[in-house]
Amino acid sequence: MSLDSSLKAGGGLKRHRNVLTRPERIELLAKKDAFDKKQGDPLGLPKVGNRKLTTGKK
């Protein structure tokens, strides 16, 4: 019996994730100058959209 590809171990998180971890959100906000790493409070961060853009099929 074969194992479904979504259940296979290894490779970590290769899929697209809509929910970002706090360090990932801080990095994105810092790039946009919306968060100061030295004085900013890491609690209560604004939501950050992480959309995967797909193009239409031909």
24-56: pLDDT as tens digits: 888 888 888 888 877 877 777 888 888 777 777
Instruction: Please report the pLDDT score of residue 13 as a whole number.
Output: 58
> What is the pLDDT averaged over residues 11-26?
77
Contact 15, 5 (CB under 8 A): no
Contact 35, 26 (CB under 8 A): yes
Contact 25, 53 (CB under 8 A): no
- The one-character DSSP state at 24 is H
CA angle 40, 38, 18 (to 5 degrees): 55
